[in-house]
Amino acid sequence: MLVISVICSFRKLSVEHITHICLLAAYVWFTDSLPNIIPITENGTIDDRVLHFEAKLSVVCLVNVKFGEMWLYGLLLLSLSFWTSHSMFKIPLKMFAGKFNASVQLDLKPLRKIESAVESGLSLASDPAGIVNFLDMINNLKGDSGRGYYMQMVIGTPGQTLNILVDTGSSNFAVAAAAHPYIIHYFNRALSSTYQSSGSGVAVKYTQGEWEGELGTDRITIPQGPSGTITINIAAIISSEGFFLPGINWQGILGLAYPLLARPDPSVEPFFNSVVRQTSIPDVFSLQMCGAGVSASTTADPAGGSLIMGGVEPTLFRGLVWYTPVLEEWYYQVEVLKLEVGAQNLNLDCKEYNSDKAIVDSGTTLLRLPGIVFSAVVEAIMQSSLIEDFSAGFFDGTKLACWMRGESPWRLFPKISIYLRAMNTSQSFRITILPQLYIQPVTSIDGTLDCFRFGISQSANGLVIGATVMEGFYVIFDRAQKRVGFAVSTCAEKGGVPFAELAGPFLAEDTTSDCTSGMSLREPVMWVMAYGLMGICALVLIILLILLILPCRRNRDGEITDESSLVRHRIK
């Protein structure tokens, strides 16, 4: 009876329909079992990597896409193929300008302990074991105007020197391994006696570029990093499209996130994991990016910064350090409780701020906000700004705003504050950026106008605390204690006035519940759905086999009693 009931429920489905359902289930299972290589998170509506301006005040891009008709099962197939994607990558790009002169503010006192009554931790100016000297790492980053922060590394035997872009939002160490018209040199594997190929390929696609290559291992040294030689996994980029750009001064990318984001799979040990394992330094690194408030078109004095591997350098920040928990070890995912524009609370459900995820990512140029949050922020800025009838094109990234040279637009805009949950989960703390960080100078026109862009953009992949915010703070990635720390940076200031503020603690009574629950379908859920669909298909196939093998019951007149078209056309 059960078999007959199931047959009746499917009696109106043709063999073609059932085949499509089964193929759909097999596709979902197959694609979910493969390493996911997902397009990157967008880095603003203006192309952050190539800033071409032709004395115009607006840049407008219109894209018309016309979709043809498709069947329902095609839509389901497309939707499920996107659901299986859970890791997001992006090309690390930032705005930066200005250079921090470390010698002005260096304090060469011996080991110094920084304690806070609320948040505590040990900060050392050097490592007693002699593996690292944090003072030697100060200003080890250089800025490629509008395109990222990079550090010098020596790869292979004999050593080949390359500049490597620093990114906390991915986990692969990848370098150019073939000639390219936009780079001046590359890593020649044939010249390195210590390079070993794994024989495996790897490919990463980005919104604005992609590359393919092979996996291997080799030795590296970092002139302004931990002492000694380290053996690491290297993705040798053989071919690329839209990844290397005209005028760049870097030849590879250094991913500093967790193994879960490594490609082609998490078994590829990321760079910093290898450094910690082989040198025994603490599983902590900290980052200062000094590019706030100076035009991206500045070439005489490119931005600087510091990547401190193994701990915290106290001369790079002032005041207390506040920590927020890392919720999950893939990206540096944190929990945002609320946003304020000026003194105005946006009054959104805290889950909106964490829609999909909220991460801290040096590789994203802008502060990126989910659609609902972005709209609320823009509305609040327009209401509180002293500018009347401001063009909407400025906020969506299609227009630049220009003022006469010498005039400062920053006084016309409000502060923006982000509240993060503290390690004491009943408390929160606030990081605040001044307009100098999110109203960003980009270029000048005819020597009479200074033009600026909006350093905040809309995101379809969650909230990203990118370089727009990070350039105001000294950010500590304390992986050992699963937390990210913020302190006011010593280089984000002008005339002694900082561009960022830090305050706390605040009670989090109104946001004591989990602001991240139920925000996205993660991999385990998709596995359950895929296997469930496969189970249904298996049941249907079993029923079809039974129908084909067993003889059909006939009535006394010898006619087939089951009027199903499937059975009628199969049995004569």
Which of the residues 48, 127, 144, 167 is marked catalytic?
167
- Calculate the dihedral angle through the C-alpha atoms of 241, 61, 358, 475, rounding to the nearest 10 degrees: 70
Going by C-alpha positions, the residue among 117, 105, 111 that lies closest to residue 322 is 117
Q: How far is CA 331 from CA 41, 62, 90, in A?
A: 12, 32, 12
In this predicted structure, what is the pLDDT of residue 544?
Answer: 84
* Mean pLDDT score across all residues of the chain: 76
Going by C-alpha positions, the residue among 490, 354, 327, 305 that lies closest to residue 423 is 327
In this predicted structure, what is the pLDDT of residue 295?
Answer: 61
467 vs 488: CA distance, rounded Å:
14
Is 167 an annotated catalytic residue?
yes
Going by C-alpha positions, the residue among 135, 52, 143, 46 that lies closest to residue 95 is 143
Lowest-confidence region among 326-340, 383-397, 478-492, 547-561 = 547-561
How is 97-165 classified by DSSP, letter by letter?
-----HHHH----S------SSS-----SS-TTSS--HHHHTT-EEEETTTEEEEEEEETTTTEEEEEE
Peptide bond into 505 cis (omega under 30): yes
Q: How far is CA 215 from CA 54, 149, 162, 175, 355, in A?
A: 41, 24, 18, 11, 34
In this predicted structure, what is the pLDDT of residue 62?
Answer: 30
Is 450 an annotated catalytic residue?
no
Q: CA quadruple 160, 161, 163, 166: dihedral positive or negative? A: positive
Mean pLDDT of 440-456: 90
Distance from the first to the final alpha carbon of the chain? 24
Mean pLDDT of 203-215: 82
- Give residue-wise pLDDT tens across range 155-186: 999 999 999 999 999 999 999 999 999 999 99
pLDDT score of 282 more than 80: yes
Tokens 């010249």 — which residue? 191
Mean pLDDT of 17-26: 49
Is residue 269 a contact partner of residue 231, using CB atoms and an 8 Å limit? no
Mean pLDDT of 211-216: 95
Query: Token pair of 568, please?
Result: 């009628």
Confidence of residue 130 (pLDDT cuts 50, 70, 90): low
CA angle (527 as vertex; 522, 530 as ends), nearest 5: 125
554 vs 216: CA distance, rounded Å:
68
**Contacts of 62 by beta carbon, 8 Å cutoff, 6+ apart:** none
Tokens 């906000």 — which residue? 369
pLDDT score of 235 more than 60: yes
In this predicted structure, what is the pLDDT of residue 483?
Answer: 98
Query: Token pair of 510, please?
Result: 């109104």
In this predicted structure, what is the pLDDT of residue 208?
Answer: 64
**Contacts of 233 by beta carbon, 8 Å cutoff, 6+ apart:** 172, 173, 215, 216, 217, 268, 269, 270, 271, 274
pLDDT score of 264 more than 60: yes
Residue 417's CB: how many other CB atoms inside 10 A? 19
Lowest-confidence region among 25-29, 176-180, 449-453, 456-460 = 25-29
Q: Which one has a higher pLDDT value, 113 or 424? A: 424
In this predicted structure, what is the pLDDT of residue 118?
Answer: 33
Confidence of residue 519 (pLDDT cuts 50, 70, 90): low
Mean pLDDT of 342-359: 94
Range ranked top by mean pLDDT from 85-94, 107-116, 303-312: 303-312
pLDDT score of 116 more than 60: no
Q: What phi, psi does 297 have (nearest 5°)?
A: -85, -5
Q: Which CATH class is domain 134-281?
A: mainly beta
Longest pairwise C-alpha distance within the chain: 105
Mean pLDDT of 51-62: 33
In this predicted structure, what is the pLDDT of residue 90?
Answer: 37
Query: Token pair of 143, please?
Result: 């800025």
In this predicted structure, what is the pLDDT of residue 461?
Answer: 87
How is 223-270 classified by DSSP, letter by letter?
TTSSSS-EEEEEEEEEEEESSS-TT----EEEE-S-GGG-SS-TTS--
- Give residue-wise pLDDT tens across range 524-544: 445 456 567 777 878 888 888
Q: Where are the domains of the chain?
A: 134-281, 303-507
- Give residue-wise pLDDT tens across range 39-49: 333 333 333 33
In this predicted structure, what is the pLDDT of residue 74?
Answer: 46
Is residue 337 a contact partner of residue 373, using CB atoms and an 8 Å limit? no
Does this chain's domain 134-281 share its CATH topology with 303-507? yes
Which of the residues 32, 361, 450, 478 is marked catalytic?
361
7 vs 158: CA distance, rounded Å:
71
pLDDT score of 65 more than 70: no
pLDDT score of 358 more than 50: yes
Query: Token pair of 197, please?
Result: 């190929």
Confidence of residue 386 (pLDDT cuts 50, 70, 90): confident
Q: What phi, psi does 376 have (nearest 5°)?
A: -65, -40
Residue 54's CB: how many other CB atoms inside 10 A? 6
Confidence of residue 387 (pLDDT cuts 50, 70, 90): confident
Mean pLDDT of 359-384: 93
Q: What percent of the chain has pLDDT over 90?
A: 51
Domain 303-507: which topology?
Cathepsin D, subunit A; domain 1 (2.40.70)
Residue type, 102: A
Confidence of residue 550 (pLDDT cuts 50, 70, 90): confident
Going by C-alpha positions, the residue among 202, 275, 273 that lies closest to residue 239 is 202
- Give residue-wise pLDDT tens across range 456-507: 999 988 999 999 999 999 999 999 999 999 999 999 998 889 999 999 999 9
In this predicted structure, what is the pLDDT of residue 83?
Answer: 42
35 vs 25: CA distance, rounded Å:
18
In this predicted structure, what is the pLDDT of residue 129?
Answer: 52
Long-range contacts of the stretch 544-553 (C-beta < 8 A, 24+): 544/18, 546/3, 547/7
Is residue 353 a contact partner of residue 336, using CB atoms and an 8 Å limit? yes
Query: Token pair of 367, please?
Result: 């502060």
Is residue 187 a contact partner of residue 156, using CB atoms and an 8 Å limit? yes
Going by C-alpha positions, the residue among 416, 419, 377 that lies closest to residue 396 is 377
Confidence of residue 402 (pLDDT cuts 50, 70, 90): very high
